[in-house]
Amino acid sequence: MKTIRFSKIRFLMLSLSLAIIAGGAIGTFLQGGFNLGIDFQAGLSIRVAVDPTKADVDIESVRAALSGVLGAQVQTVGNEEAQQFVVRVSDPGDIASFSTVASRDILDSLGDEFGEDAIEELENSFVGPRFSEDLTQNTIVLTALALTVILMYIWFRFRLGYATAAITALVHDVAFMLVFIGTFQIEVSTATIAAVLTIIGYSLNDTIVIFDRIRENEMIMRESGFETITNASITQSLSRTVITSLTTLLAVTAIYIFATGSVQLFALNMIVGVLIGTFSSIFIASPVLLGWQRSVRRRKARKDAQRHGAPISARTAESAKAATPVAQTGITDADKQRAIEEISRRKSASSGRSSSRAKRKKKK
């Protein structure tokens, strides 16, 4: 199998990904931040249906009817023919019995515009300010805790360099997902958090598969540099990665097409997450591991050179960076120099002994 040199374009892919994340962060900021759902923003969410046989409405007419309700946000649910809408109003925290007052205002405004007999309340949810704040804090803490446990697990199973590379890829995935959600103003709900955590697990699994192959090839391909080992490992795992990703995409795409509401948004986040998780395993985690290994070898070469009093030359650093077979077996330039000096000393001692014996024979 021909090895694909993924590492050759790693800087291009990393730069492209960082540019997209930066652009998404700017887009999210310009739109006023995230579109927080009722779970993370204190307030009332009410789902209503307008009878199509009694009134023909669209989202703009509903927004116009609720113009008198301060801060009301309207979204369409399901097919437009069903004429179902979700109306959300934030709780400022200074109104007693806010849920009752806001529900009455919304239903009265819609009834005055389209007729009371045409309006049907399907669902009513209220989240208080304290619950919303606690849920937000718990989500952040638990996500950070999950990343910490993952770091410790991979550190234990592999080495610190592998753990750092895996966490870097996961942070990249989370950042990409967040800017995607913010840029397109997808509602942030508990389903969104579930999708992000699912993608973390999916991306981590894909990364560990590649790292397992790298670790195996380090034993098999001892005479090769680490960059060659990394490219070979990704190439060998590529068919498995592609097949797994395509299978997952087929399932979540079907959910996205046929589902509605929060389930559909969950599927949309999963589609983007699977794609970006596969990307990060190849172009983020593996290149970071490659850079870590090169950095370790450069530091080791400097310490060896300083320990034996040899000058730290650019040639020594470059040989460590290139991960030559000599460096792979732990033999540095300083070790080779000491070996040469030891051989020369032994030859000199041997020559001295031979000369002494020759002189004694001559005297006899």
Stretch (H or E) spanning 125: strand 119-127
Q: Which residues contact 323 (CB under 8 A, 6 or more apart)?
A: 225, 226, 227, 293, 294, 297
Q: Which residues contact 50 (CB under 8 A, 6 or more apart)?
A: 57, 62, 83, 84, 85, 110, 114, 118, 119, 120
DSSP output for 250-305: HHHHHHHHH--HHHHHHHHHHHHHHHHHHHHIIIIIHHHHHHHHHHHHHHHHHHHH
Please choose, from the candidates 167, 122, 115, 157, the residue with its C-alpha nearest in 3D space to the C-alpha of residue 285. Answer: 167
Please choose, from the candidates 230, 232, 242, the residue with its C-alpha nearest in 3D space to the C-alpha of residue 287. Answer: 230
- What is the crossing angle of helices 190-220 and 226-258, to 10°? 150
pLDDT tens-digit profile, the chain (364 residues): 688 888 888 889 989 999 999 999 999 999 888 887 766 777 788 888 888 888 888 888 888 888 887 778 887 877 777 788 888 887 776 677 778 888 888 888 888 888 888 888 888 877 766 666 777 788 788 878 877 887 788 778 778 888 888 889 989 999 999 999 999 888 888 788 888 888 888 888 888 889 889 888 888 888 788 888 888 999 999 988 899 999 999 999 999 998 877 788 889 999 999 999 999 999 999 889 988 888 888 888 888 777 776 555 444 444 444 444 433 444 555 555 565 566 566 655 555 554 555 455 555 4
The amino acid occupying position 308 is: H
- Report the relative pairing of strands 73-77 and 35-36 from DSSP bridges: unpaired
Q: Is 95 helix (H, G, I), strand (E, B) or coil?
A: coil
How far apart are alpha carbons 131 and 263 in whole angstroms? 23
Q: Which residues contact 20 (CB under 8 A, 6 or more apart)?
A: 176, 179
How far apart are alpha carbons 353 and 364 in whole angstroms? 17
Only one residue has tokens 């239903």, namely 107
Question: Hey, what domains does the chain have and what are their CATH numbers?
Answer: 6-34+132-299 (1.20.1640.10), 43-127 (3.30.70.3400)
Cα-atom radius of gyration of the chain, to the nearest Å? 32
DSSP output for 214-259: HHHHHHH-TTS-HHHHHHHHHHHHHHHHHHHHHHHHHHHHHHHHH-
* Reported pTM: 0.69
Q: How far, in Å, are 3, 230, 314 from residue 320 at the CA level?
A: 23, 16, 10
The sign of the torsion formed by the CA atoms of 193, 195, 196, 198 equals positive
Phi, psi of 119 (to 5 degrees): -100, 130
- What pLDDT does 268 receive? 92
- What pLDDT does 325 receive? 42
